[in-house]
Amino acid sequence: MTTYQTAIFREGTAHQIFLEFTAREAVTSLPDEAPADSAVDGGEQLVAFGGGLLRGLEALETPPDTVDFTPIEGAEGFRAPATQRDLFVWLHGEKRDELFARALEWRDSLYPVADLTHEDHGFRFRDSRDLTGFVDGSANPKGDAQQAAALIQTGEHAGGSFVLAQRWVHNLSGFSKLSMADQERVIGRTKSDSIELEGDAMPPDSHVSRTDLKRDGNAVKIYRRSSPVGTSSDAGLYFLAFSADQQRFRWLLDSMFGLTGDGLHDHLLHFSRPVTGSFFYAPPRDALLRAFDLR
């Protein structure tokens, strides 16, 4: 029976590690020493593949229309760089030491074929807030709708999920200089209790307005699993999201960066900027194990 990777849906964990690897050359198989089938003490792990690596692996089929992340040149000079990596590992749980030990295992086991080229360590900030002080992920689907948003539902790739990973750096000092009311207008929600603004109180360029989309009358839903990351000098967000359809990510990014033809862009871009960008595919668990020759 095909099953999804359970790390996608376990919420509320205190610690996160995000690892992005780049293959040194074309790879057709992956080291079976990698801990792809090993439980994480007190935590979860997810493994996903960039399109280039995925197309080279003999054990896996690439989902149709899988694309790499490409740079976005948006309105008023706002841009999102592309740093497409080949393999992504997300570790999260309650025991930071165990997550760190697993990260070392992944680094060492993949070293014959790939280098660790980006790493971030995330943490739960207060009551699951972003470093701006706003609750993160308020609009996430609930219950069964989570799987409908995040997982491919039918066909040979059922249980798989497309992944968007971006590291953002916040201008926290600039944002903090805004009045509370202006901060709420940038985000589109109240800061204390995360209630969505309504009517004329909701600016059309708020973050909520630019990411609450419909296509052909249907809501564009993704499942966000972002985390605060960084040091005091580069504090920000590791934006991590899952979708049953990779195209949804591009619709949301185009709306944020002012590429939809309505003359608007996300006001949050004045206070936060992406410095990395990759698309990945997280296969269902049985396919993941085949990729590492464990089935």
Q: Which one of 86, 120, 130, 136 is the catalytic residue?
A: 136
Cα dihedral across residues 41, 148, 135, 254: positive or negative:
positive
Using CA atoms, how far apart are residues 17 and 39, in angstroms rounded to an integer? 15
Nearest to 246 by CA among 151, 159, 154, 137: 151
Tokens standing for residue 48: 């996903």
Active site residue 136: yes
Q: Do residues 168 and 272 make contact, with C-beta atoms less than 8 angstroms apart?
A: yes
Residue numbers annotated as active site: 136
